[in-house]
Every structure is written in C-alpha cells, then in structure tokens.
Structure 1
Amino acid sequence: MEFAEFINTPKVDNVMLFQPFKNPQQGTLCITGHHLIFSTRRLDNTEELWLLHSNVDMVEKKSSPASLKFVMILKCKNYTMLQIDFQNAEDLNSVAMSIENLSNIDDVTLKYPFFYRAMFEPLEDGWQAFLPENEYTRFKECSEDWRLSYVNKDYSVCPSYPHAVIVPKSIDDDTVAKAAAFRQYGRFPVLSYYHRQTKAVVMRSSQPLTGTNNKRCKEDEKLLNAVLSIGKRGFIVDTRSSNAAKAAQSKGGGYEPEMHYSHWKRIHQPVERRQAFNDSLIRLMEACCDYGISMDKWLSKLESSNWLTHIKDILTCACTVAQVIDSEGANILVHGSEGYDTTLQITSLVQLVLDHDCRTINGFEALIEREWLQAGHPFNDRCSKSAYAVSKSRNEAPVFLLFLDCVWQIWQQFPCSFEFNEEFLILIFEHAYSSQFGTFLCNSEKERKEYGLSKKTVSLWTYLARPEILEKYLNPMYDPNPRVIWPSVAPQSLTIWNAVYLRAMLKQAKQKEAWEEIKKIQDHDKELRSKVARLRRQLALLEREAVGAGVMMPAGLEDEIIPE
C-alpha cells in the first residue's frame, strides 16, 4: 500500500493556523505519509509545525459558504487543538479526508516509528536497558526463594507475558504451565515486587477459571502456597467488587475459593473497569472544553465525570496493599479479571509508594517496562483513540493515563521526592498515544518481537538517555527520600491535572517560568558550593605547603577567604 493513495491534496497555500495562546499565522499546509506540516515560509522568520497523523483523534469540519468560512479543527490525543482555515470547501474536504484516512491506518508496520531515523548518536540501546534478566538483579536479596523461569520463552504458556518471569524456586516449570491453564489468558501468578525491609512480595495474575462448579487447580494452589512461610497467611486483593467477582463465575471466571486457598485471605478493593474509565474521560473533556461555563456547572460536570473518584479508588487500593506490605510484612497477590489493566495500576503504584528507586527517572522507566510493557498491557488497543473520537472500539481505555495521573497526584503532594518533573510525565503520556519511537507500539513483548521493533525502531529510553535531553526533565527540587510516602486521597488533596486536560484552555507559561526560576536558584547555589569547595581545597594545599616550609598560617584566615 502507498501513502499516496490516501493523500488527495498534498499541498495547500494561503491557509490560516490558529493555536491556543499564539497569534494566527498564514502559511502553507503540506501532507506527507505521516505528518501534517504547516510552514509560514517567511524570508525573515520561517516557522514550522509538524503534527503526526497518529496524534489526531478527531477531525471536525465547519463550513459556511455564506460567510466564506471553511474551518477544520483537529482535536489531538494529547488534548491540544488546532484550527486551520481554508479559502474554499474543496481544499477543506480534501485535506480533512486525507488526515482521517492517514490517522486511522491499522497496519503497525506503516506507523511512523518504522520510518523514523534518529539524528543523534545513541549512548545506549533502550531496548536492552530493562530486560527481565537485568531487572532480576534488583531482587537478588530474594534469589534463595525465587528464580528466573523461561517456561514462556516461546510465548506458548501466556502470549501476553514476557519470555522470562520470576517464580518461586521450589516450583518447577511443569507446575507453572499447569497453573497457567487455570488462569484467564494464561496469566499465572508472578513476582511483581520484593520489599527488602519486610521481605514481603507482591505478585500479580489474572482471575482463576473456577466457574460455577468451583473448579480447582492443585498446581495453582501449590504455586501460591510456595511463597508463604510456615504459619504465615497471605492476602489476595481483588480489584473487583464481590458482586462483580461472583458475576464473573457465571462466565467461567471467578475467584479463589477459601476452601482451596485456606492460607490466603481475600480482600475486595473495588476499582472500576476500563469502560467506565472511557466514559469518564469523555465527560471530563466535555467539561474542560465547555467555554463560558459557570463555576457551579463546571464543578457539577467535574463531579459527574467521576474521574477524580477513579483516581481516589486506585490510590486507596494501592495504599491498602502498600500498608499491608510495609506494616504487616504479608505477601499479596493482586488481580482483577484479565490482569493487565487495573492490576498493573495497583502493582505499579505500590512500588512508587514503597520504593524510592521508582521515583528516579531510570527507576520509573524500569517500572513502566516491567509493570506495563513486559507485563502485557495492550497499548495498541487501549491508546488507539482518546477522548474525542466518535467511533470507539470496546478495547480503548485510558488505563495508563489514569496511572500517570495518579503518579502526578503523588508527585504534587511530594514534589521533592521525585527526580523527574511534571514535563517528564507529560512526555510519557504523549508518547504512549503517538510517537516517533517504537516503545509503546503493539500489545505485548511477543508482538514486538514478531514485528522486530528492537531492530527496526528506536526506543524512547534511548532518546532519554542523552544528558542534554535528560536535563530537561530533572526536578530542581529533588531531595532523595528513602522513606515510604503516603499520598492523601482526601477530596481537597486530589485535583485536575491542568497541564494535560486544560492545556488548550489554560496557559502554563507562568508555571514553567516559576520552575525555571527555581532551577536558576538551584544552579546558582550549586555553583557557589562548588566555588567554596574549590577554595577549601586550595587553602588546604596552601596549609600543607606552609607547614612543609615551617610557616604558621594566621588564625581565622579561612573565615576571611570563605565568608559564611
């Protein structure tokens, strides 16, 4: 297939571009296979805008021949909006149709990451940075009880799991494979996190296939009991309500019966399902895009969207798990139904709360790789459309966005405990939906290998490994905090992420200026400290030379040279 088939008009002159918080610009519009390019083409100051077609969520046309207005509005997946005015209806319809076609190509191999060529020298290969074998070394303290298993090396046991997983050392691969057959989509219990302080673990899986007959699987029971020491009990945290778990039984799913899992206590900590997330995001963005709305109506719409309620429920569940791990030292298994949506939200946030390493840039990237990409969150399905798209498939849902929003809520409550800034979270969000990098393409490691992403595309982590890029996303207020951080879920503690959902309505320049000023102060402070350290070293050298020559240094000299 050729991209030219979808491009009706490759170039249109004399169009007007309107962007939030910028003056209107006149220029030329060009359409390529992957980008919409707007250029002012002025001799004195040429400006260009490059927009990936994959970032376009909805194309809206407004045509009024009487007033000679032919307008196209592009609503993007990252919640930015562009308005382009044409001189005639023919150009408007032609360009709109081209963008609609190019933004809805399903063939993964035709996505831009397969055509993108890095214009920089990579310092490291991001595809190799967080392999399961490398991450296993993080859990070396538990290597006596856990092992790296390659039971899924050909992805036949569980298509959505990575080629290597961490399982109890006392359980052989045959037992693991039989336990997988008892879990939905083969997602058997695997190690997600080992807490060094209490030596407790978090595992994740999908629901057991008990059905209405309460079927049992001794291999699954054996696998779970292998993580419990003598006399210990574990907790199974089900992210569904008890009614939802019982309803799943009638469809062949279900939960772990107490009679067969006597050493495990089941707790229901309900978090809504992904369809509710979708509906909620649509209502949230409708409220955010409602210009001229009164305060009472805005608050009413915000509340009825239930977006902050979802955040509260997710954080509450994660903090419950973290508290059991931290205070009781009990082992926990987390699952909902499929095990690759709300389950991953919880296990990821538990680690962010408990482990300060996950609050660094490298640690957070490793967390996303380990708990989302390798754990089989179907990014291709979930992030194919966003809040504005008219026709939605039942697979789309802002599950990962909700996770990032929860991270932001914790970040803004503990701004000094994270190495990265807000821009870093926004960058991750934007690349999950539309990117020149291959990191978030496909639904699983299996699919990424089939398409050869590590050889044919560049990793986002490769791009971020460069010091000049990384510097943009460092938090100037970062003060490493090894302690557990407990976020508040009180109504006054949770707020709308303005820099994402209201970016087309609220100018963020003042906030950016404030952070830049903080960085300048910090840089100046570092420079002063460096000068003081250098002077102290020079003074110490002078003292040694003076002692060697038999000369006494005058008292108080250091205070004169290096004042407080």
Structure 2
Amino acid sequence: MEFSEHIRTANVEDVVLRQPLLPPSRGTLCITGHHLLFSDRGEGSPRQVLLLLRNVDAIEKSVENLSAYSAGSSGTIKIKCKDLQVLQLDIPGMEQCLNIAHSIETLSCLDRVSEMYPFFHRPSDLSLQDQWGLSSPEKHYSQMKALHHRWRLSTVNRDYSVCPSYPAAAIVPRNTDDDMLRKVAKFRQGGRFPVLCYYHRKNDTVIMRSSQPLTGANRKRCREDEDLLQAVIDGSDKGYIIDTRSSQQAQQARMAGGGFESKSFYSRWKRLHRQMERGKTLQESLIKLVEACGDASPNMDRWLSKLENSKWLSHVQTALSIAGLLAECLERDGHSVLIHGSDGTDSTLLISTLAQLIMDPCCRTLEGFLALLERDWVQAGHPFQQRCAHSAYSHARLQQESPVFLLLMDCVWQLWSQFPLALGFSEALLLRLATEAYASDYGTFLCNSNQERCALGVMENTHCLFQALLRPSERDDYSNPLYEHTELAIWPSVHPQSLQLWRGFFLRWTQQACHLEEARKEVRNMVIEWGKLARS
C-alpha cells in the first residue's frame, strides 16, 4: 500500500498553528505517511513541529462558508493527542481543510503493524544488527544461580503452542516436566500456567503469576496444577494466592467457566481477594480525569469534585496497597505468592512489578527498571496494541482498551515522589515511557505478545526503545542525580494525603507545569554540577 493514496493534500501554505504555552505561528503544513510537519516563516530561529500521526487520538474540524468553495473560505482542525496535548490548525480554504483532516484521520488509524513508523525509523546511532532488547528468559535464569537447585528453564512453549501470550521459555519448579506443564496450561485461561517472575534472595521465596484456573461450575480440578503449586512451597508451611478480583467476581467467573483455587485441593495455599478495577472501568476513569484537568473553570469545589469522581487516585491507591501486601508476604512473612486475576495480562503484571520495585534495589536502577518492564510487560504478554489503541479523547471506544500501563507509570511516580533518593531514574523517563506506549518511533510496544512480534518481524526490522534510552546521549536525561543505593525495601504510604495527582503528565501542557519543569531542570543541573565539583 502506498501512503500517498491517503494524502489528498500534502502541503498547505499560510497555516496558523496554535499550541499550548506558545504564541500562534504562521507557516507551512506538510503531511507525510507518518508525520505532520509544521514549519513557520518567522524571523530568527524558525519553529518546527513534528507530530507522529500515531499520536493523534481524535480530531475535530469546523469550516466556514460551507455553501461554496469561495476564496475566503477557511477551516479549523483541532488535534487531540494521546499524550494529552491539544493543537489547533487554522487552514485557508475549506477544501484543503477537509482534505488535511481526512488524511490525518486515515493515516493515524492504520492498523497493519508493518505500516507503522517503527518499521521506517532509522536513527544514525543504532543498528538493526544489534541484539534486540536488554535480556531474555534464558539470561534472566542464568543470573539467578541460587535457585537452580529447585527451578529450571522450560522451553515447552518454544513454538508458542502451549501459551500464545508467553515467551518461548519460562522458569518453573524443577520437578515438573513439560508434559505436566501442557496439562496445567489447558487448565489455566489462555494457557498461562504458573511461572516464576521474581526470586527473593533474602529468604528464598518467589512470586509466581498465572491466569485463573478453569474450574467452572462443576469445580473441575487438575492434579498437575495442584502438584505444581505444591512444588513451589515444598518444605514451607504455606503460600498465598492473591486474586485481583473480588470474591463475588471470582464466583461469577466460575459460572462462565473460569474460577479460583479451591481450599480443598490447595490446602497449603491461602487465597486472598483484593479487587483491582480493569478494562472499561479504568478507561472511563482516565477519560474523566483528563476532562477534569482540561476544565478551565477556576472553581475549587468543581475541580475537587471532578477529580474525586474520576476515581483515578483510588485506582492508584488500590494498586500500591495490593503491591504492598504482596511485598509483605515475601519480605516480612517469608511466604511465596501466586498472583492472578482472570487473564493474568493486566493487573497481575501491574501488582507484581510494583512489588518488585518495593523490595528489590536491582529493579530500582535505570537499567534494572527497564529490564523489569521488558521482562514483566513486553515478554510476559501485556497486549499493548489492544490496550493503548486510544487514549482519553477518542470517540471510537474499543472493548479492549485500558490504561493499565499508564496506571503503572503513575504508581511508580508516586514511589519516586515519596522516595526521591531510592530510584535511579527520573520523572522524565516515566513521562517518556507513558507516551511511547501509545505512539512510538520504536518497536518495543508494538503487538500484543512475543509470538506476534516474531511473526511480524518486529525484532529484525525495528529498534528497541529500552536500548535507545540507555545510550549516553539519553542516559543523562533519564538518570536521577540524587540516587543513593539502598538495600532496604521502600514501603509506600497509601494514605490519601500521601498520594498526589501526577501533574507532570496530566497537567504538563499548562503554564503551571511548564514553570515547575523549568525549576526542576534548574535544580537538576545544580545537583549535577555539585556532583562534578565534589568528585574533582
């Protein structure tokens, strides 16, 4: 397919661009297969804006003089982006305005992965010959020699036939063979059998994750599944199962063929239900929050009411609270944990990742955090393409959209705010990741699983975002100059007074956020200079 087929008008002169925090600018607008490019004709340093069309969430158009294509006709296009920026284009000529709007709408919604910009992006300092990604299940396993006597690396899923959303290799108890894993996979939704995602060296406990068991209304059981979980806690008195659904939701799931682990058959596992909202509920919460942040009314009561009604901070609180519980089970009680909801691809990953950040200092470095995201989100099968198809502005609501990864970034930012010395990365990294998940030059967040990435040649034909972020030219911007390594766990406060709106993301296109960012950069530069002087 030629992108030119969708471009009715490629260039328009005398366009006025209006964007947040800057004065209006007049210049030339160009549309390419992947970008909108605006270049002004102003004196001095010209202003250029390059917008990845994939970042467009919705557009609104209005035209004047609809009755005739008169010379004085004009139109306005308001572009609402997935990163919450809102741009306005005043375009001379009604026909040109409608053509530009049609081109943007069409090109921003192309759904064939091979047509997306990461397949065309070629930065000069990266090579497609480089190894793609930071790690692999094999490398991760080789680095944890302390668990080799009880755990093994299984390649039962090497052709993705056992579980389409898992990577080709997974860490499982040593005394479970691959035939056993195949039977367990048939008993778990989507084939997501229990696998190890974190080993706590301090007390030899682990976090396992999976999807729900398919017990159904008849309370079907699987002895291989029971034996696998028994092998996890062999020699221990008990383990915990944290189900991210309410007890009622789990019961309802059983009527639809899903279910939960029965006390009768998993007698040494204690099941805890901690409800975590997902899917449509989370998406609607984001929409309400963005609407509240865009309300220009100076009324304080109205702002607080809208913020509360969005319930976004309640989701943040719930996620951090459940993650704290999971970390307590390992760190303080010394018991292993299996965590799952229904599919095991969303809230399960969210809670597991936060718990690891709380407990493990290795996950709190810049490299460690990126490797954790790659391991627990990209390789573990979070369906980025489905969840991040649209953000808060789009009117095309798809059933599978949900800002789970954005919620993770917000929760990590809360940790970063409460423990400014304990995390080795900056807020700028969280902002970059939150944006890249929705629209990116890189292939890391393309597709819904490793199987899809392999089938579509993502790893051979695109560059890896995480590797790009670790380049020397990028690393300084995303490192925390105040970072001090600590072996201690960082326990977040979940009291309402301790949680804040993530202004850097949700209010970043306002004047207030602009001033805060300038002050933050100044402080950062002072700290870096002080560090250089201290070392010299």
TM-score, scaled to structure 1: 0.92
Q: Secondary structure at the match of 2:437?
A: helix
The secondary structure found in structure 1 opposite 2:187 is coil
Q: Does the alignment pair 1:371 with 2:376? A: yes
Q: Which secondary structure state, in structure 1, belongs to the residue aligned with residue 508 of structure 2?
A: coil
Structure 2 residue 18 is the aligned partner of structure 1 residue 18: yes
Residue type at the aligned position of 2:99 = S
Name which of 288, 310, 313 aligns with 1:283. Answer: 288
Is 1:381 the counterpart of 2:394 in the alignment?
no
Residue 163 of structure 2 is aligned to residue 158 of structure 1: yes
- 2:9 counterpart of 1:9: yes
Q: How does 1:291-306 map to 2 (within 5 A)?
A: 291-306=296-311
Q: Tell me if the contact between 1:315 and 1:349 (Cα under 8 Å) persists in the aligned partners.
A: yes
1:492 aligns with 2:475: no
What is the Cα deviation at residue 526 of structure 1? 2.8
**1:49 alignment counterpart:** 49
Equivalent residue of 2:351, what SS?
Answer: helix
From 519, 522, 526, give the equivalent of 1:514: 519
Which moved further from structure 2: 114-123 or 197-206? 114-123
Q: Which amino acid aligns with 2:328?
A: Q
Task: Judge conservation of contact 1:233–1:265 (CA < 8 Å) in 2.
Answer: yes
One-letter identity of the residue aligned with 2:182: A
1:431 partnered with 2:403: no
Q: Structure 1: how far apart are the matches of 2:466 and 2:129?
A: 9
Which residue matches 1:477? 482
* Pairwise CA distance, 1:63: 2.9
Q: Does 1:194 align with 2:228?
A: no
Shift of 1:195: 0.7
| Structure 1 residue matching 2:253: 3-state secondary structure | helix
Any conservation in 2 of the 1:201–1:332 contact (CA below 8 Å)? yes
Deviation digits for residues 184-233 of structure 1, max 9, x if unmatched? 00000000111111111000000000000000000100111001123511
Match of 2:412 in 1: 407
Amino acid at match of 2:528: D
Q: Residue deviations 1:29-68, cap 9 Å, x none?
A: 0000000000114574332111011000000113344996
Give the Å deviation of 1:522: 2.6
What is the deviation of 1:132?
Answer: 1.1
- Report if the CA contact (8 A) 2:128-2:463 is conserved: no
1:81 Cα deviation from its structure 2 partner:
1.0
Structure 1's 273 and 93: CA in aligned 2 closer, same or farther, altered over 3 A?
Answer: same
Candidates 254, 260, 264, aligned match of 1:259 = 264
One-letter identity of the residue aligned with 1:488: S
State which of 333, 339, 342 in structure 1 corresponds to 2:338. 333
Is the 1:59–1:72 contact (alpha carbons within 8 Å) kept by the matching residues of 2? yes
Specify whether residues 128 and 304 from structure 1 end up closer, same or farther in structure 2 by C-alpha distance, changes over 3 A only: closer
Tell me the alpha carbon deviations over residues 54-85 of structure 1, each in whole angstroms, 9 at most, x when there is no partner: 00000011334499662111100011111111
Name the counterpart of 2:249.
244
Partner of 2:462: 457
Match of 1:560 in 2: none
Judging changes above 3 Å, is the alpha-carbon distance between structure 1 residues 310 and 65 closer, same or farther for their aligned structure 2 residues?
same
Instruction: Give the letter aligned to residue 97 of structure 1.
Output: H
Query: Cα offset for 1:512?
Result: 2.8
Shift of 1:482: 1.7
In structure 1, the gaps of 5 or more residues are 532-564
1:176 aligns with 2:181: yes
Query: What is the DSSP-based 3-state SS (H/G/I as helix, E as strand, rest coil) of the residue aligned with 1:265?
Result: strand
Letter in 1 for 2:301: D
CA distance in 1 between counterparts of 2:65 and 2:370 reads 51
Query: In structure 1, what is the equivalent of residue 69 of structure 2?
Result: none
Task: Point out the structure with max Rg over C-alpha.
Answer: 1
Distance 1:256 1:201 in 2: 19
Aligned-partner Cα distance in 2 for 1:305–1:512:
25
Distance in 2 of aligned mates of 1:130 and 1:91: 48
**Residue aligning to 2:137:** 132
C-alpha distance in structure 2 between counterparts of 1:394 and 1:498, whole Å: 28
| C-alpha distance in structure 2 between counterparts of 1:413 and 1:158, whole Å | 38
Structure 1 Cα separation of the partners of residues 41 and 498 of structure 2: 47
Give 3-state SS (helix, strand or coil) of 1:162's partner. coil
Q: Is the 8 A contact 1:123 1:462 kept in 2?
A: no
Let me know the Cα RMSD of the aligned residues.
Answer: 1.6
- Whether the 8 Å CA contact 2:26–2:41 is kept in 1: the answer is no
2:294 and 2:455 mapped to 1: Cα distance?
40
User: Aligned equivalents of 2:511 and 2:450: distance in 1?
Assistant: 38
Q: Which residue of 2 aligns with 1:63?
A: 63
**Partners of 2:211 and 2:5 in 1: how far apart?**
43
Among residues 143, 151, 159, which one is paired with 1:146 in the alignment? 151
**Structure 1 213/506 Cα, relative in aligned 2: closer, same or farther at 3 Å?**
farther
Q: Which ranges of structure 2 fall in alignment gaps of 5 or more residues? A: 67-71
Q: Deviations over 1:108-145 (max 9, x none)?
A: 11000111112224599361421111111342211111
Provide the residue aligned with 1:35 in structure 2: 35
Indicate if the aligned counterparts of 2:74 and 2:97 stay in contact, CA closer than 8 A.
Answer: no
Q: Which moved more, 1:66-75 or 1:201-210?
A: 66-75
Change (3 A) 1:254 1:138: same
What is the deviation of 1:440? 0.5
Q: Distance in 2 between matches of 1:231 and 1:143?
A: 18
Q: How many residues align?
A: 531
Partner residue in 2 for 1:210: 215
Partners of 2:479 and 2:514 in 1: how far apart?
18
2: distance between equivalents of 1:520 and 1:452?
41
Please state whether the residue corresponding to 1:479 is helix, strand or coil: coil
Question: Which whole-Å CA distance do the structure 1 matches of 2:128 and 2:53 have between them?
Answer: 29
1:120 to 118, 125, 132: 125
One-letter code of the match for 1:261? Y
